Amino acid sequence: METYKNPAAPIADRVEDLLGRMTLEEKVGQTNQLVGVEHFRNNLASLSADDLFRNTAQAIYPGHKPEELEEWTRQGIVGSFLHVITLDEANRLQRLAMESRLAIPLLFGIDAIHGNANCPDNTVYPTNIGLACTFNTELARHIARQTAAEMRAMNMHWTFNPNMEVARDARWGRCGETYGEDPYLVERMGVETVLGLQGNLDGENDVLACVKHLIGGSQPDNGTNGSPADISERTLRTTFFPPFKAGVDAGAATVMPSHNELNGTPCHSNRWLMTDVLRHEWGFNGFVVSDWMDIEHVHDLHGTAETVEDAYCQSIMAGMDMHMHGPGWVDAVCRLVKEGYIDEQRIDDSVRRILTYKFRLGLFEHPFADPEKTMQVRLCPEHRRTSLEAARQSIVLLKNEGGLLPLDAKRYRKILVTGINAQDENIMGDWSASQRPENVVTILEGISHCVADSDAEVVYVSQGWDPRNMDPKRVKRAAEVACTADLNIVVAGEYMMRYRWNDRTCGEDTDRSDIGLVGLQEELIRQVAQSGKPTVLVLVNGRPLGVEWAADNLPAIIEAWEPGMYGGQAVAEILFGKVNPSGKLSMTIPRSVGQLHSYYNHKPSQYFHPYVCKPSSPLYPFGYGLSYATFAYSNLSATGEIHADGKGQVDVAVDIANTGDLDGVEIAQLYIRDEYSSLTRPVKELKDFKRVALKAGESKRVHFTLTPDKLAMLDADYHTVVEPGSFVVMVGSSSQDEDLLKIKINVK
């Protein structure tokens, strides 16, 4: 038996044995990823070659036929596919790979961003921006484990998640994919996602994680996806790098560069990023995969390579291991090797990394998934329960004037429900395929269920699903019904569903020049509120929205983000008090686009001169969120010592009491500020948080541990140091000063 076929042999030996048997074409083939055959076939009728340049969702390969992709698979010159969304196709393509000379299995990648939601009949959890509002790292890992199990049940092995970019621009349509604006929160949630997805990378329910996008795409020059990023090395190393390094330290198998150029160099040909930092500084030993046709864009967009082949050569020599996606890669790279531009050993390095993970995943022994067992895992009761619980914890109560919420269904005989997101599967968010109606609970359905045992009548006035093409007559009709109702609920926000790609207002490649409500939505809210009846606004969106008028004029606002397939039930349970909201904002909500960039951990001089005519403060700050309970913080203390030599620790403790009549969960947050330092530091930085469950009237003393690394900074030479001097330690319910208790500690 060949060593590579022997499951008892060490993986390193199997890799080397197989590598020694491969032709150059087969080696390069392992670095070659293509879109799925059915994806290609389905797009042939509607997509032209001219459509491909800016399209990052659909693909064809002009001049080629779907049957050619199948033949290349039989020849062993395809290593991976993406956009394969059914088990039948995955197994069929894998059978073709088994016909190749060496029978090397395929690696199937999928954008499983919040569950394997991009494929039908899978559990859809809240998107990352909402999940981060739970501040529940255990839940992040739990969802990742369930996602991995559902992926493997479909013969999928690799997800392009977690997105560990630090989101600092609300215009950017991909905020919803991220864990928000704070490096520490992004790091904590992202690391748990990596650990949950990958397990030990030796089991049948483990998949590869992909930490993306390296780097700067979340603070683009003009807010649009892929636009240039000019960011100092200091800001990179203090704000944007830490989550990525933590993901690498957690064992992430793959890393994906960003679409954009960074300080003049395209990330996909950036040796400093992919080799100097990622491999040499951080010790990354997985493989780097390109994003959608971004190596080609080094040539045809950025203009730093005169030909596509030159772009391929630059990218590989900078550290790229796998190409997403396109048919010209194998011939071009083989030619570059044969002509001496690329050493074959460099190709061997990439192939070695890719094969190692194929062996670790057990694909050589188990290349197929069982169609008879797949639905025993996907959408199973346990996963559905997790999706619902995650939605409950992710929703943020922004305003509750006069205690309007929770609602008592017995008080209202007629309830108006209206808005573009009231009765639509759009609540699942970006990266979601259309799911069966019985597997999605809309907000209208959730509300109707909650009042089913009362005499309340729910009247629905549809506004359609498209905010850009709302009908003024429907707005007028909702305003008329509002005058006869006892309570009005407007469900507004944005549209994210990918199967209507050109109609979306939020999501990948769907960036905006403002952050207000699109179309007639604000007019709808104003007209309904003019009825004089209590009006509640529920927002469904993947980016912060500047709903300043609503914040000033409505009594109650709920930020639901993209709460997943059971989001409608979760929203209704919070509206009617069956669940006490506990979510806290993972991203600042600015008042308007004019406040961008707006984030809590800014430098001291940022608002030295405030704006005129409008407040400098955001609409709602990072870490903010209300509850139906009330919590009081007291008796903040700090004991112990930290020394500048990196030794010691400080125990920070605070009493938190539930002073309300309802049980609740408070998310306590610890921030620090270095009062005086050799270089400017942020006004505050999140360094720890805890979810604290408290029954009505209960009090707990909550402890945090400050270690030297949490006080560290980069000095002028980029060395990590802890400087002596005083630090302010702040603990409370949000990042705003009035919500924080403060105490000073001294580093000796």
> Is residue 509 among the annotated active site residues?
no
Q: Per the structure block, which two tokens stand in for 422?
A: 């009231």
Nearest-10 crossing angle of helices 567-575, 443-450: 40
Distance from the Cα of residue 722 to its chain's centroid: 32
- E-strand ranges in 268-329 read 287-288, 323-324
Residues 500-524 as b or e (16 or more Cβ within 10 Å = b): eeeebbbbbbbbbeebebbbbbbeb
* Closest to 510 in 3D by CA, of 430, 433, 586, 435: 430
Q: Which three-class secondary structure string do you get for 689-748?
A: EEEEEECCCCEEEEEEEECHHHHCEECCCCCEECCCEEEEEEEECCCCHHHEEEEEEEEC
Q: How many degrees, rounded to 5, is the angle at CA 583 between CA 487 and CA 127?
A: 95
Catalytic position from the list 111, 291, 321, 674: 291
Distance from the Cα of residue 339 to its chain's centroid: 42
d(CA 327, CA 340): 22
Nearest-10 crossing angle of helices 344-360, 308-318: 70
* Closest to 159 in 3D by CA, of 177, 147, 174: 147
d(CA 498, CA 507): 8
Q: Which helix or strand (DSSP H or E) is residue 37 part of?
A: helix 37-43
Nearest-10 crossing angle of helices 329-338, 344-360: 140
Per the document, the length of the chain is: 748
Residue type for 441, please? V
* Closest to 291 in 3D by CA, of 215, 223, 190: 215
Pairing of strands 487-493, 414-418: parallel
Query: Token pair 């109707």 is at which residue?
Result: 448
Report whether 20 contacts 321 (CB < 8 A).
Answer: no
Residue partners of 23: CB distance under 8 A and separation at least 6: none
d(CA 236, CA 231): 7
Residue type for 682, please? P
* Closest to 542 in 3D by CA, of 149, 109, 56, 163: 163
Catalytic site residues?
A: 291
